[in-house]
């Protein structure tokens, strides 16, 4: 396991309760919400028309409490929800599951080649791993030919701004091009939380060199109905700068 994965497993195990308490209502137990902007798969159809999800094997990566997998089940799909954090998956059990839960690192997927028709990830794993190409190659391996992988991540532009929801979050404070990860450490200097930055170009390159075709890049706009804040995401900032990037990819 890499230092980032070790740090993030501990962080998400310690913070899963707070995360679900804070965001569970917004996410909904059985909705598929892509991002703090509130884009819902019902309107976005990034995985394809809902009627075509029936009978599909779907891998959800960084599933948290598996809200998206619950929605996929309701469409007749057969999801498998994977997360690095045992505590997040306990929340999935608390809400209720009728599909498999797998505790594993997305960089080393414990599945045979060609096991899934689709894969998806709402802010799971990809913002947190040191080398996203390892995840992308693993996802490509477990997808069947033509399979689609849709994932949302923090929009790379946000890296240049303070992670604050108010006006202080509107002035550039760091270089967009600085790939030094954001790391929180304990008293002994061990990483306890890590986020990695990729520029938009890096992300596109990661996708393409990992054997995917980029079908779409969605930058959800902040809708007027959404008055919630989520960390540094807020209506104020959301109306001015993008907060999320969603990559729609297909296995070559």
Ligand X SMILES: C[S@@+](CC[C@H](N)C(=O)[O-])C[C@H]1O[C@@H](n2cnc3c(N)ncnc32)[C@H](O)[C@@H]1O
Q: Where on the chain is the footprint of ligand X (CB under 6 A)?
A: 5, 8, 12, 27, 62-64, 83-85, 88, 105-107, 122-125, 128-129
Give the nearer residue to ligand X in terms of CB position, either 134 or 207: 134
* Secondary structure element (H or E) that encloses residue 26, with its range: helix 3-27
User: What is the rounded distance in angstroms from the CA atom of residue 237 to the CA atom of residue 228?
Assistant: 12
What's the min distance (Å) between Cβ of 224 and ligand X? Answer: 22
What's the min distance (Å) between Cβ of 122 and ligand X? Answer: 4
Give the nearer residue to ligand X in terms of CB position, either 26 or 177: 26
What's the min distance (Å) between Cβ of 23 and ligand X? Answer: 6
What's the min distance (Å) between Cβ of 187 and ligand X? Answer: 23
User: What is the rounded distance in angstroms from the CA atom of residue 45 to the CA atom of residue 38?
Assistant: 14
Distances (CA, A) of 126 to 61, 176, 194, 196: 9, 18, 12, 9
CB 91 within 8 A of CB 118: no
Give the nearer residue to ligand X in terms of CB position, either 90 or 199: 90
What's the min distance (Å) between Cβ of 65 and ligand X? Answer: 7
User: What is the rounded distance in angstroms from the CA atom of residue 75 to the CA atom of residue 53?
Assistant: 6
In terms of DSSP bridges, do strands 182-185 and 191-195 run parallel, antiparallel, or are they unpaired? antiparallel
Give the nearer residue to ligand X in terms of CB position, either 5 or 75: 5
Give the nearer residue to ligand X in terms of CB position, either 6 or 144: 6
- In terms of Cα–Cα distance, which of 84, 116, 83, 111 is closest to 97? 83
User: What is the rounded distance in angstroms from the CA atom of residue 212 to the CA atom of residue 189?
Assistant: 37
């Amino acid at each position: 396991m890499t230092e980032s994965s070790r740090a993030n497993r501990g962080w998400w195990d310690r913070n899963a309760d707070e995360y679900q308490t804070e965001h569970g209502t917004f996410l909904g137990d059985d909705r598929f919400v892509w991002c703090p902007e509130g884009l819902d798969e019902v309107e976005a159809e990034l995985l394809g028309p809902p009627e075509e999800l029936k009978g599909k094997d779907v891998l959800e990566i960084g599933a948290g409490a598996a809200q998206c997998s619950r929605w996929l089940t309701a469409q007749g799909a057969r999801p498998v929800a994977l997360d690095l954090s045992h505590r997040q998956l306990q929340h999935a059990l608390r809400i209720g599951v009728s599909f498999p839960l797998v505790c594993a690192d997305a960089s080393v997927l414990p599945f045979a080649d060609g096991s899934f028709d689709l894969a998806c990830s709402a802010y799971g794993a990809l913002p947190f791993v040191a080398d996203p190409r390892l995840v992308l190659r693993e996802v490509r391996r477990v997808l069947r030919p033509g399979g689609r992988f849709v994932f949302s991540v923090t929009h790379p532009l946000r890296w240049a701004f303070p992670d604050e929801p108010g006006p202080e979050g509107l002035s550039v404070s760091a270089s967009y091009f600085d790939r030094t990860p954001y790391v929180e450490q304990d008293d002994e200097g061990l990483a306890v939380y890590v986020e990695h930055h990729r520029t938009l170009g890096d992300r596109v390159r990661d996708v393409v060199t990992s054997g995917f075709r980029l079908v779409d890049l969605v930058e959800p706009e902040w809708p007027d109905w959404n008055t919630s804040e989520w960390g540094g995401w807020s209506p104020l900032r959301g109306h001015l700068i993008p907060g999320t990037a969603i990559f729609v990819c297909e296995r070559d």
